[in-house]
Amino acid sequence: MSTDSPVNSPEKPESTFGKRLRNFLIVMVAIALSVSLVLGLRTETTSATLAKLSETSTPLEVAISNGKPSLVEFYADWCTVCQKMAPDITQLETEYANKMNFVMLNVDNTKWLPEMLRFRVDGIPHFVFLSQQGETVAQAIGDQPRTIMASNLEALVTGSSLPYAQASGKVSKFSAPVAPTTNQDDPRSHGSQVVN
């Protein structure tokens, strides 16, 4: 009696048909997984992003003058709270597209420094609700649930008072420069660093 083979179980060679069937099934499963992975990645890249919101954004100059109320969002590409809120803002933008403007202002662009100072942006996302005349109605800072944003936008569109006018949530800290930095050592220029 040999110790290499089990007792009472003679080895049966697997048929070539069985091997082919097994290999065929493995190949089909691999193809199905590959296709699902590719389709999954494709749908992931079409989801809402800050870049897409910025591309579809109404320019601030147009938003202030076109007679529609506006939601202005101060954001940054690195802001995790802004990224988290992007899908909700995209849905709201789709829902209210014909009724109001959606304006995206990137705080990393110094072009928007006067607006950052005007609205006292010190955390992002920072939302400013503007009336049809371009006047500030309310502000909200930080992570806002979609229901709160929708309630505020509905009130803004109908001209009602905003139910959540001073909402605050989790923010990504941001420190706006208070004045352009220049390296002037001229004593006569000391007043130019003061910003009112």
Pairing, β 136-141 against β 123-124: unpaired
Amino acid at 68: K
Strand 101-106: give its sheet, edge to edge.
101-106, 70-75, 126-130, 136-141
CA distance 106 to 77: 8
Residue of 59, 71, 62 whose CA lies nearest to 156: 71
Query: Which is the catalytic residue, given 50, 60, 63, 79?
Result: 79
The secondary structure of residue 105, as a DSSP letter, is: E
| Residue 165 neighbours by CB distance under 10 Å | 13
CA distance 158 to 180: 40
CA distance 82 to 92: 14
- Could you confirm whether 157 is annotated as catalytic? no
Enter the tokens of residue 30.
């691999």
Q: Are 144 and 169 in contact (CB under 8 A)?
A: yes
- Could you confirm whether 79 is annotated as catalytic? yes
Query: Which is the catalytic residue, given 82, 103, 149, 153?
Result: 82
The catalytic site residues sit at: 79, 82
